[in-house]
Structure 1
Amino acid sequence: MDNEDNEDERTEELDTLRSIYPELELDPGDPFAARIQLLVAPTTPLPVTFEPGQSIERLAYLPPLHLKIALPAQYPAEAPPSVTLSTSPSWIPADKTNILKEEARLLWEEYGGGQMLFAYVSYLQETAETAFGLEELTLPLSLRTELLAYSTRTKRELFDKETFDCEVCLEPKKGSACYRMQRCSHVFCVACLQDYYNNCIKEGDVNNVKCMSVECGKSEPGSNKKKDRLISPKELLQIPISTEIVERYAKIKRKKKIEADPTITYCPRSWCQGAMRTKKYPKITNVHEMDESDSEADEPVSAAAEVAQAESTFEKRKVGITGMDRLAVCEDCTLAFCQICLASWHGDFVRCEPRDATQLTEDDQASLNFIMKNCSPCPTCSIPCQKSYGCNHMTCFQCKTHFCYLCGAWLPPERPYDHFSNPKNKACFQRLMDMAEGDMAQGDVQFGGRRGAEQMADFWEQEAMRIQMELDAQDS
């Protein structure tokens, strides 16, 4: 084969390769040399350990593989192509690079001196999907920032170019107007996410700050019920949700956890009432760093479990009554006080007694009286619930338990209305729509369950007072 035919064959192969890969660049100074960048996006993100420090990251995208091709005059019949492989920064081990380069010669031999550039580029692309066979990688800590930034930037650039159907508004949107959930990869448009999460947080419904897909959630073993994972503050900021709203979300979540924990003591100062300092619920300082620590949905605590936990805590305090475990410091006003008697801290060796739990302030007692008279407790978590309108089939705002507002009975979620059509339920039979305008709109209504017992006790107390007043009037 003469040189002219050889040149034509090399030119033809590079032109064909360029038609398949438009990003292929020919060398201006050498008509038989070219270069191309190949995307490295492992199907499974590659675990990378950065030393020193042992910081481990899973990278979905790594800096591209730079392939330089030079076709000698003897190619393809008598000599293989010359290939050079590199990355910037250099992250592929040298031994792995040598194996990839050797594959070019092996393919040339396999093709019997025929054109094999397309097969070689395809091979590199396929092996890039497995990170060139690497199961893990160890790199210097100095490369961490650059590689993380590249992976994040590339992921966003590719996402922005795609088109998605938002699972809420069902409209096709460009990726640049959408957000992919980090844990489950469901995609929604940013406008729908912002509307939903802003409303949830403003209304205090933080347990619904989760993925909106009906398919999302992890089923518990042996149960069809899905366990929801809440969105972390750090991810909310990336959607983006405003810092002010995210701070409110984090504070409400923390407040709910503290109020559900009977081991937490509150500052005795009436003008403060701050919670005691505790490592269990650290004060929120920077929501930008809050990732997974506060992303779990609150588990409802039954009344019996809460009482048992409180009793256990009280017994522990009695055992350590002469120790430093009595000392508490208010996280707001920094008052040091005793957890047993709630007086200012009096030292380790002073014996004290627990303050009577019934000693409520006038405002606390008035609030408690209103709650007992005007709210029905959830049978699962005991959270007081008040109906503003609608039927007497209630769903607890806290734990989503279905129950009857009139008697407090638990209702099966699949058949909640059977309760109101069963003659055996005398307090609730055919009373589904009683108080449809709200708890406070119809005056006195007969309840059952605990609230009914409170109602009867209040009635007889009023009757006793009336009779006593009549007897006093007769005596006078």
Structure 2
Amino acid sequence: MAEFPPDDERIDELTTLQSIYPELVLDFDHPPIPTARIELPVAPEKPLPVVCDSDSSVRNLSHLPPLIIDIILSEGYPTERAPTFNLTADPPWLPDRVLEQLMEKGHALWEEYGGMQMLFAYLSFLEESARTAFGAADSARDGVLKLPDTLRTPMLELNEKLGKELFDKGTYDCGICLEPKKGGACHRIRHCGHVFCKACLQDYYNNCIKEGDVNNVKCLSPDCGKTGDVKVDRKKKDRLLSPKELLQIPLELETVKRYAQIKRKKKIESDPTIVFCPRKWCQGAMRTEKYPKITDVSQMDESDIEDGEPVAAPKATDQEIKFRGAPNTDRLVICEDCSLAFCKVCLAPWHGDFERCINREQKDLTEEDQASLNYILKNTSPCPTCSVPCSKSYGCNHMTCFQCKTHFCYLCGAWLQPENPYGHFNNKKNKACFQRLMDGAMGDQANGEIRFGGRRGAEQEAEFWEQEALRIQMEELGG
């Protein structure tokens, strides 16, 4: 540095610039040309949409690789010669045309300033441009920046790393316990950005998964996803957290496995095209690519079909059901658990394509199957929308179906308005349920006989008269 003149304007400008940008690295060891380097963070105000060559899914990145700026001040700067700027990014995510435009802007600024010092103005311009990712998406096709596959992994990893570092430094109010917590003790829900402390999330999600209530493993903010339009919000399904995100909170691996298995089981059971193994000791589902067996939950990062609603499966037509026994139809299925090959129509072990078979009917049920069906009819109230059987252990008679979120009356099975479900129990026209909101508050088994309506009431009445007829018959025989 001693070889530079003491009144060199270049040295003075770079030293002053370093006081503003402490991260600026100066190099005065190679006179007569001083140089400097600075890495400019790139965190656009609006996430940059990117897509890779072999992956059509768009990823929105909030943190991008920094822009590396090399500044070279030749003799004659600033009055006679323009500074030289060399801009790069590592990994190289910015298109060459964008980098060239940014470097040309530096030369244009020097001309605009009329041979005066302009390094601070140029860095200020680059900082401002970084808020829009230097217009990389604006100049790209359809507003999405296309990257080669080699950049996909490093870009995603860097985005996650920088985002976490910034988040950990902040302080946030937990949306559950309402206490301020450091970012390292909190988790930000990926799809909506709401923040909760990890301890509260672990307590709640562990309990939900333990009880099998996987449809409530979602953001706990009451306003999450709400638009303000009651009709729209009523139809909108909650978005569930992915297994990969639960592991990041973190939840125990076995707990997350249970969560993924229950979700898969619910989807399979709600799909009318899935049949189950006829072996009583197995009863596993048929193999299907629609619901592949879970092998590694740490890689399950789907953003959902995981929205809490059953997968919409195509219903078989009457013609398909009638003629499934004909040749060239797909009747052969294999159990995913015991590998039994059987016919999906008659449930018998596989008999070949050319043997005609028919669907199993009610009379073909085993004694055990019939006993289970009778118990369900007698002791549960079905959801009026999806027919899932419901049994109450405690609470009022306003029910919400776990499967489809329908509001209904536990006593008579009627649909209830989500905005005013309790009006049903205050309406004198509903004679069977009027002022009976808390009937059986301690559960079906704790309050003796409860009068029901609908299908369950019919089963209850039929059983009563059957027992009454038996009592009268016994009295006559005794008399």
TM-score range, shorter-chain basis?
A: 0.7 to 0.9
What letter matches 2:343 in structure 1? Answer: C
Paired position in structure 2 for 1:332: 337
CA deviations 1:372-429 (Å, max 9, x no partner) are 2222222222222222223323333333333222222222233333332333222222
CA deviations 1:28-70 (Å, max 9, x no partner) are 4158432211012233444445457778654433321121223
What letter matches 2:118 in structure 1? Answer: M
Could you list the runs of 5+ residues in structure 2 that have no partner in the other structure?
A: none
Paired position in structure 2 for 1:80: 82
Contact 1:371–1:384 under 8 Å retained in 2: yes
CA deviations 1:295-351 (Å, max 9, x no partner) are 4334379xxx99x95xx4564132231234222211111111122222111111112
What letter matches 1:242 in structure 2? Answer: E
How well do the aligned residues superpose, as a CA RMSD in angstroms?
Answer: 2.9
Q: 3-state DSSP class of the match of 2:67? A: strand
Contact 1:48–1:59 under 8 Å retained in 2: yes
Contact 1:17–1:118 under 8 Å retained in 2: yes
1:439 paired residue among 424, 437, 444: 444
Instruction: Indicate yes or no: 2:149 matched with 1:141.
Output: yes
Contact 2:383–2:389 under 8 Å retained in 1: yes
Percent identical residues? 63
C-alpha distance 421-96 of structure 1, shift in aligned 2 (>3 A)? closer
Paired position in structure 1 for 2:460: 455
Within 5 Å, which residues of 2 pair with 1:8-407? 9-29=9-29, 32-51=34-53, 57-135=59-137, 136=140, 137-217=145-225, 223-225=232-234, 226-292=236-302, 294-299=304-309, 309=315, 312-313=316-317, 315-323=319-327, 324-407=329-412
Q: Which moved more, 1:31-40 or 1:200-209?
A: 31-40
Deviation at 1:97, TM superposition (A): 2.5
Q: Work out the CA distance in 2 between the residues paired with 1:110 and 1:374.
A: 85
CA deviations 1:125-165 (Å, max 9, x no partner) are 12222222222445543343333322222222222222222
Contact 1:218–1:227 under 8 Å retained in 2: no
CA deviations 1:7-26 (Å, max 9, x no partner) are 2x444433332222121122
C-alpha distance 372-44 of structure 1, shift in aligned 2 (>3 A)? same
Contact 2:267–2:310 under 8 Å retained in 1: no
Q: Which moved more, 1:143-152 or 1:451-460?
A: 143-152
Q: 3-state DSSP class of the match of 2:70? A: strand
Contact 1:300–1:380 under 8 Å retained in 2: no
Deviation at 1:252, TM superposition (A): 0.6
Runs of 4+ with deviation above 6 angstroms = 52-56
Contact 1:263–1:313 under 8 Å retained in 2: no
Q: Work out the CA distance in 2 between the residues paired with 1:97 and 1:13.
A: 24
Could you list the runs of 5+ residues in structure 1 that have no partner in the other structure?
A: none
Contact 1:266–1:275 under 8 Å retained in 2: yes
Q: Work out the CA distance in 2 between the residues paired with 1:139 and 1:279.
A: 31
CA deviations 1:454-476 (Å, max 9, x no partner) are 111111112223334445556xx
Q: Work out the CA distance in 2 between the residues paired with 1:380 and 1:254.
A: 21
Deviation at 1:113, TM superposition (A): 2.1
C-alpha distance 410-89 of structure 1, shift in aligned 2 (>3 A)? closer
Q: Work out the CA distance in 1 between the residues paired with 2:419 and 2:61.
A: 44
Q: 3-state DSSP class of the match of 1:325? A: coil
What letter matches 1:158 in structure 2? Answer: L
C-alpha distance 466-223 of structure 1, shift in aligned 2 (>3 A)? same
TM-score w.r.t. structure 2 length? 0.87
Q: Work out the CA distance in 2 between the residues paired with 1:89 and 1:448.
A: 68
